[in-house]
Amino acid sequence: MPATPPAPPSETQLAAEPAPLAFHPARAALVIIDMQRDFLEPGGFGETLGNDVSRLQAAVAPCQAVLAAARAAGLMVIHTREGHRPDMMDAPPAKVERGAPTARIGCAGPMGRILIRGEPGHDIIAALAPAPGEPVLDKPGKGAFYQTDLELMLKNRGIDTLLVAGVTTEVCVHTTIREGNDRGYRCVALADCCASYIPEFHRVGLEMIKAQGGIFGWVSDSTALLAALAGTATHAAPPSAA
Protein backbone atom coordinates (compact mmCIF):
# COMPACT_ATOMS: atom_id res chain seq x y z
CA MET A 1 0.00 0.00 0.00
CA PRO A 2 1.47 3.39 -0.89
CA ALA A 3 2.54 5.45 2.09
CA THR A 4 0.43 8.49 2.83
CA PRO A 5 2.52 11.57 2.07
CA PRO A 6 3.17 13.62 5.20
CA ALA A 7 1.30 16.90 5.42
CA PRO A 8 3.31 19.64 3.76
CA PRO A 9 4.89 22.18 6.10
CA SER A 10 3.41 25.62 6.18
CA GLU A 11 4.19 27.96 3.35
CA THR A 12 6.68 30.71 3.63
CA GLN A 13 6.50 34.02 1.81
CA LEU A 14 9.30 35.17 -0.47
CA ALA A 15 9.63 38.83 -1.34
CA ALA A 16 9.93 38.82 -5.12
CA GLU A 17 9.01 40.68 -8.26
CA PRO A 18 6.62 41.10 -9.89
CA ALA A 19 4.82 39.78 -6.82
CA PRO A 20 5.58 37.94 -3.57
CA LEU A 21 5.64 34.17 -3.89
CA ALA A 22 4.41 31.68 -1.29
CA PHE A 23 6.22 28.34 -1.36
CA HIS A 24 6.62 25.21 0.73
CA PRO A 25 10.29 24.78 1.68
CA ALA A 26 9.86 21.02 1.35
CA ARG A 27 8.71 21.50 -2.23
CA ALA A 28 11.43 23.93 -3.25
CA ALA A 29 14.86 23.17 -4.66
CA LEU A 30 17.87 25.44 -4.79
CA VAL A 31 19.41 24.91 -8.22
CA ILE A 32 22.94 26.31 -8.56
CA ILE A 33 23.87 26.56 -12.21
CA ASP A 34 27.40 25.98 -13.52
CA MET A 35 29.50 27.64 -10.80
CA GLN A 36 32.47 25.92 -12.42
CA ARG A 37 36.12 26.86 -12.65
CA ASP A 38 35.72 26.90 -16.44
CA PHE A 39 33.40 29.89 -16.13
CA LEU A 40 34.75 31.68 -13.07
CA GLU A 41 38.51 31.27 -13.26
CA PRO A 42 41.12 32.50 -15.74
CA GLY A 43 42.08 30.01 -18.44
CA GLY A 44 38.67 28.36 -18.71
CA PHE A 45 35.85 28.37 -21.25
CA GLY A 46 34.57 31.81 -20.24
CA GLU A 47 37.91 33.47 -20.75
CA THR A 48 38.56 31.72 -24.07
CA LEU A 49 35.43 33.49 -25.32
CA GLY A 50 37.02 36.85 -24.50
CA ASN A 51 35.22 37.53 -21.24
CA ASP A 52 36.40 39.16 -18.03
CA VAL A 53 35.75 36.24 -15.70
CA SER A 54 36.22 38.36 -12.55
CA ARG A 55 32.72 39.76 -13.19
CA LEU A 56 31.21 36.47 -12.02
CA GLN A 57 32.83 36.65 -8.59
CA ALA A 58 30.05 38.91 -7.29
CA ALA A 59 27.67 35.96 -7.19
CA VAL A 60 29.90 33.70 -5.08
CA ALA A 61 29.26 35.09 -1.58
CA PRO A 62 25.46 35.39 -2.07
CA CYS A 63 25.43 31.82 -3.41
CA GLN A 64 27.35 30.66 -0.34
CA ALA A 65 24.79 32.36 1.90
CA VAL A 66 21.75 30.82 0.21
CA LEU A 67 23.45 27.43 0.01
CA ALA A 68 24.08 27.44 3.77
CA ALA A 69 20.51 28.58 4.47
CA ALA A 70 19.01 26.02 2.10
CA ARG A 71 21.01 23.22 3.72
CA ALA A 72 19.99 24.36 7.21
CA ALA A 73 16.33 24.46 6.15
CA GLY A 74 16.55 21.02 4.53
CA LEU A 75 15.79 22.18 1.00
CA MET A 76 16.77 19.99 -1.87
CA VAL A 77 20.01 21.36 -3.36
CA ILE A 78 21.07 20.58 -6.92
CA HIS A 79 24.31 21.65 -8.58
CA THR A 80 24.75 21.64 -12.34
CA ARG A 81 27.83 21.59 -14.55
CA GLU A 82 27.93 22.34 -18.24
CA GLY A 83 30.34 20.09 -20.08
CA HIS A 84 30.89 17.17 -22.39
CA ARG A 85 32.06 13.59 -22.45
CA PRO A 86 35.80 13.21 -23.08
CA ASP A 87 34.98 11.70 -26.50
CA MET A 88 32.73 14.74 -27.16
CA MET A 89 30.04 12.53 -28.72
CA ASP A 90 27.49 14.71 -26.88
CA ALA A 91 28.93 18.01 -28.13
CA PRO A 92 27.08 19.26 -31.21
CA PRO A 93 29.50 20.47 -33.89
CA ALA A 94 27.40 23.63 -34.13
CA LYS A 95 28.30 24.38 -30.51
CA VAL A 96 31.97 23.48 -30.74
CA GLU A 97 32.61 25.33 -33.98
CA ARG A 98 30.75 28.51 -33.11
CA GLY A 99 32.49 31.84 -32.69
CA ALA A 100 36.18 32.53 -32.58
CA PRO A 101 37.37 31.54 -29.12
CA THR A 102 41.10 31.42 -28.40
CA ALA A 103 40.60 27.74 -27.54
CA ARG A 104 37.60 25.62 -28.44
CA ILE A 105 35.68 23.14 -26.29
CA GLY A 106 37.87 20.05 -25.90
CA CYS A 107 41.18 21.89 -26.41
CA ALA A 108 43.87 21.69 -23.75
CA GLY A 109 44.00 24.64 -21.37
CA PRO A 110 45.59 25.50 -18.04
CA MET A 111 42.76 23.71 -16.21
CA GLY A 112 42.70 20.71 -18.53
CA ARG A 113 40.55 20.22 -21.62
CA ILE A 114 38.00 23.02 -21.89
CA LEU A 115 34.48 22.14 -20.72
CA ILE A 116 35.20 18.41 -20.58
CA ARG A 117 33.91 16.23 -17.74
CA GLY A 118 36.57 15.00 -15.36
CA GLU A 119 38.95 17.88 -16.07
CA PRO A 120 39.90 20.33 -13.27
CA GLY A 121 38.21 23.22 -15.06
CA HIS A 122 34.91 21.35 -15.12
CA ASP A 123 34.81 21.21 -11.32
CA ILE A 124 32.54 23.40 -9.26
CA ILE A 125 34.56 26.10 -7.48
CA ALA A 126 35.76 25.13 -4.00
CA ALA A 127 33.69 27.86 -2.31
CA LEU A 128 30.49 26.16 -3.48
CA ALA A 129 31.55 22.53 -3.34
CA PRO A 130 28.60 20.14 -3.28
CA ALA A 131 27.97 18.36 0.00
CA PRO A 132 27.61 14.57 0.09
CA GLY A 133 24.15 13.60 -1.08
CA GLU A 134 23.54 16.73 -3.15
CA PRO A 135 22.96 15.79 -6.78
CA VAL A 136 25.48 17.13 -9.27
CA LEU A 137 23.90 17.20 -12.69
CA ASP A 138 26.09 17.10 -15.77
CA LYS A 139 24.40 18.77 -18.70
CA PRO A 140 25.57 19.01 -22.29
CA GLY A 141 23.44 22.05 -23.05
CA LYS A 142 22.61 25.42 -21.61
CA GLY A 143 19.36 24.32 -19.94
CA ALA A 144 19.46 21.98 -16.93
CA PHE A 145 16.46 19.99 -18.20
CA TYR A 146 17.88 19.15 -21.63
CA GLN A 147 19.20 15.56 -21.79
CA THR A 148 19.36 15.21 -17.99
CA ASP A 149 17.30 13.48 -15.30
CA LEU A 150 16.50 16.74 -13.52
CA GLU A 151 12.76 16.56 -14.12
CA LEU A 152 12.61 12.98 -12.84
CA MET A 153 14.44 13.92 -9.64
CA LEU A 154 12.20 16.93 -9.06
CA LYS A 155 9.06 14.87 -9.65
CA ASN A 156 10.20 12.11 -7.31
CA ARG A 157 10.86 14.66 -4.57
CA GLY A 158 7.58 16.53 -5.08
CA ILE A 159 9.31 19.77 -6.00
CA ASP A 160 7.23 22.57 -7.50
CA THR A 161 9.42 25.65 -6.94
CA LEU A 162 12.93 26.25 -8.28
CA LEU A 163 15.16 28.85 -6.65
CA VAL A 164 17.78 29.42 -9.31
CA ALA A 165 21.30 30.79 -8.81
CA GLY A 166 24.50 30.64 -10.82
CA VAL A 167 26.00 31.72 -14.10
CA THR A 168 25.46 33.13 -16.51
CA THR A 169 22.23 35.03 -16.01
CA GLU A 170 21.26 35.36 -19.65
CA VAL A 171 22.48 31.97 -20.84
CA CYS A 172 22.24 28.89 -18.61
CA VAL A 173 20.21 30.50 -15.82
CA HIS A 174 17.73 31.92 -18.33
CA THR A 175 17.49 28.72 -20.36
CA THR A 176 16.89 26.64 -17.23
CA ILE A 177 14.21 29.00 -15.95
CA ARG A 178 12.49 29.00 -19.33
CA GLU A 179 12.60 25.20 -19.45
CA GLY A 180 11.33 24.93 -15.88
CA ASN A 181 8.54 27.42 -16.48
CA ASP A 182 7.31 25.47 -19.51
CA ARG A 183 7.25 22.32 -17.37
CA GLY A 184 5.04 23.99 -14.75
CA TYR A 185 7.60 24.89 -12.09
CA ARG A 186 7.56 28.22 -10.27
CA CYS A 187 11.00 29.52 -11.12
CA VAL A 188 12.69 32.28 -9.17
CA ALA A 189 15.96 33.89 -10.23
CA LEU A 190 17.97 35.01 -7.21
CA ALA A 191 19.38 38.22 -8.66
CA ASP A 192 22.55 38.70 -6.61
CA CYS A 193 23.31 34.96 -6.78
CA CYS A 194 23.48 35.17 -10.58
CA ALA A 195 26.03 36.98 -12.70
CA SER A 196 27.02 37.66 -16.27
CA TYR A 197 30.21 38.67 -18.03
CA ILE A 198 28.10 41.45 -19.52
CA PRO A 199 26.48 43.52 -16.75
CA GLU A 200 23.79 44.88 -19.06
CA PHE A 201 22.74 41.34 -20.00
CA HIS A 202 22.45 40.45 -16.30
CA ARG A 203 20.18 43.45 -15.68
CA VAL A 204 18.06 42.98 -18.75
CA GLY A 205 17.98 39.21 -18.31
CA LEU A 206 16.36 39.65 -14.92
CA GLU A 207 13.97 42.28 -16.29
CA MET A 208 12.83 39.85 -18.97
CA ILE A 209 11.91 37.16 -16.44
CA LYS A 210 9.70 39.36 -14.30
CA ALA A 211 8.21 41.61 -17.00
CA GLN A 212 4.60 41.31 -18.12
CA GLY A 213 3.40 40.02 -14.77
CA GLY A 214 6.23 37.50 -14.50
CA ILE A 215 6.14 36.19 -18.04
CA PHE A 216 8.29 33.19 -17.16
CA GLY A 217 9.14 33.58 -13.51
CA TRP A 218 9.96 35.69 -10.50
CA VAL A 219 13.05 37.62 -9.43
CA SER A 220 14.15 37.73 -5.81
CA ASP A 221 17.51 37.85 -4.03
CA SER A 222 19.58 36.25 -1.30
CA THR A 223 18.42 38.63 1.43
CA ALA A 224 14.78 37.87 0.71
CA LEU A 225 15.38 34.12 0.56
CA LEU A 226 17.29 34.12 3.84
CA ALA A 227 14.43 36.01 5.45
CA ALA A 228 11.89 33.59 4.02
CA LEU A 229 13.83 30.57 5.27
CA ALA A 230 14.62 32.02 8.70
CA GLY A 231 12.65 30.15 11.29
CA THR A 232 11.46 27.45 8.93
CA ALA A 233 11.82 23.95 10.32
CA THR A 234 14.13 21.37 8.80
CA HIS A 235 12.30 19.59 6.02
CA ALA A 236 14.64 16.69 5.52
CA ALA A 237 11.84 14.34 4.44
CA PRO A 238 9.84 16.17 1.79
CA PRO A 239 6.43 14.92 0.76
CA SER A 240 6.15 12.57 -2.19
CA ALA A 241 5.06 13.87 -5.53
CA ALA A 242 1.30 14.17 -5.85
Residue pair 170/205 in contact (Cβ under 8 Å)? The answer is yes
Question: Any catalytic annotation for residue 87?
Answer: no
Residue type, 7: A
DSSP 16-45: -BSS-EEE-GGGEEEEEE--BHHHHSTTSH
Under the binding rule (CB under 6 A), the answer on residue 124 touching ligand C5J is no
Nearest CB to ligand C5J, comparing residues 82 and 123: 82
CA angle, corner 232, sides to 227 and 235, nearest 5?
Answer: 130
DSSP 101-138: -SS-TTSEEBTEETTBTTSGGGSBPGGGPPPTT--EEE
Under the binding rule (CB under 6 A), the answer on residue 171 touching ligand C5J is yes
Kind plus residue range of the DSSP H or E element containing 192 = strand 186-195
Number of residues that bind ligand C5J (CB under 6 A): 8
Nearest CB to ligand C5J, comparing residues 74 and 205: 205
Pick from 56, 167, 206, 219: which binds ligand C5J (CB under 6 A)?
A: 167
Nearest CB to ligand C5J, comparing residues 49 and 227: 49
- Tell me which residues in 191-220 interact with ligand C5J (CB under 6 A): none
Min CB(167)–ligand C5J separation in Å:
6
Min CB(46)–ligand C5J separation in Å:
7
Question: Any catalytic annotation for residue 139?
Answer: yes
Under the binding rule (CB under 6 A), the answer on residue 34 touching ligand C5J is yes
Under the binding rule (CB under 6 A), the answer on residue 48 touching ligand C5J is no
Under the binding rule (CB under 6 A), the answer on residue 41 touching ligand C5J is no
Q: Output DSSP code: residue 233.
A: P
Nearest CB to ligand C5J, comparing residues 44 and 214: 44
Range 32-63 burial, b when 16+ CB lie within 10 A, else e: bbbbbbbbbbebbbbbbbebebebbebbbebb
Beta-carbon count within 10 A of 134 CB: 16
Min CB(3)–ligand C5J separation in Å:
38
Under the binding rule (CB under 6 A), the answer on residue 176 touching ligand C5J is no
By annotation, the residues acting in catalysis are: 34, 139, 172
